Copies of this chain bind each other. A is one copy, B any other.
């Protein structure tokens, strides 16, 4: 059997476990060295594929590839570059065929979220449209948890754990100081369009009075008066109020709160930061002293507190992608399937890339309490399995050991330079 090479690439915002998927791809391919030649990685996602900027992962040691499982962010670089439609941007696809062909690449694994699966789907059309035999498998990844078909998206469970742990800890801090100091704590989390990450904060509240007391979702337009009343009641009842707010929360007119109030000294709108706006609204109306935090990239890079379940699922998706390819499947994405029953069990399924691309799954309304400020038991039941287990990275000298690969370039074979803008 003739051996062909594989190309793996990372796409979109990185996560603390996307490298675990890379590890799954490369380790599994190495186990099938009779069928798959080298695994190349595209530097900075699809851009590396277009510019023939390839990395030879066969030069990495087994130990370094294994360490990818413990290393956050994108070891080969990622990008947010989208491919246009094949009818209109035929040159891009012809270029991919040139690169694939020059490097004997017949397997393409693209690791990303909804937009990236759209790219993967378009690449899968190359076989038919350009008559080059490429096997294309998507690998799911996104902290936003908005991919369809899959029970959840690798990357989300670890952010969920980080957010739940952090608000539990900060809540205890505020509770200790509330009598004479800070009474309000606002923690802003990611989630421009869907409240999954904010919802995960709710897992920390196991008993009445536990932080967080209020969650603000992008799905629920903020009624300031009702919100302030709830904050005041919470402070009067529990002595303090801990709030998790999604960056995507909007006012009643549908405008992002983060863009509503702050301007700099030059009158420019201040970008980012719904937490300070919420905190200040509370201070101005209720007078309570506040603190706020904005975790930003810390939350999606926090491999030190990753969910073991998430790491295992991310790895399994990478492994399944290679197995799918070897089994002759094409234009599909492995997914996580939640089995029926009270105990959480999951298996690997598959979904067609065509149907995955560009679909955003929102939180069901029944996962948010009727008042709009919390999560329901159904939501908790869905979320809780995803944060189970700890999977600590190794430490040296007090700090986590994260691998930095050699990322040696593959010698270019093409003489033409591709213009990304073209």
Contact = CB atoms under 8 A, between A and B. Distances in A.
A302 B172 CA distance: 10
A175 interface: yes
A260 B266 CA distance: 12
A173 B295 contact: no
A173 B387 CA distance: 21
A198 interface: no
B297 A294 contact: no
Number of identical protomers: 2
A21 interface: no
A408 to B, nearest CB: 17
A286 interface: no
Contacts of A74: 176-177
A168 B402 contact: yes
A376 B225 CA distance: 52
A78 interface: yes
A78 B166 contact: no
B297 A296 contact: no
Interface string A372-401: 000000000000100111101001011110
Nearest to A242: B297
A72 interface: yes
A280 interface: yes
A303 B16 CA distance: 20
A59 interface: no
Nearest to A12: B177
A131 to B, nearest CB: 30
B397 A384 contact: yes
A177 B71 CA distance: 15
Contacts of A280: 264, 270-271
Contacts of A305: 304-305
A410 interface: no
Given A170-B298, A262-B264, A296-B293, A304 B165 contact: yes
Interface string A270-312: 1111001000100000000001111111101111110100000
Given A180-B44, A390-B392, A399-B204, A169 B78 contact: no
Given A74-B176, A265-B263, A399 B300 contact: no
B172 A77 contact: no
Interface in A38-85: 44, 47, 71-75, 77-81
B264 A272 contact: no
A176 B73 contact: yes
A80 B180 CA distance: 7
A176 B78 contact: yes
Residue of A16, A176, A203 most packed against chain B (CB within 10 A): A176
A165 B396 CA distance: 12
Nearest to A398: B387
Given A72-B172, A297-B170, A78 B164 contact: no
A298 B399 contact: no
Given A14-B173, A72-B172, A203-B398, A185 B77 contact: no
Interface of A: 10, 13-14, 16, 44, 47, 71-75, 77-81, 161, 164-166, 168-170, 172-177, 179-181, 185, 187, 203-204, 260-265, 270-273, 276, 280, 291-298, 300-305, 307, 384, 387-390, 392, 395, 397-400, 402
9 closest A-B pairs by CB = A74-B176, A387-B398, A73-B172, A293-B296, A169-B301, A173-B301, A170-B297, A79-B180, A73-B173
16 contacts: A10-B176, A73-B173, A73-B175, A74-B177, A77-B177, A78-B176, A79-B177, A164-B399, A169-B298, A172-B402, A203-B399, A262-B264, A273-B276, A294-B294, A388-B398, A389-B398
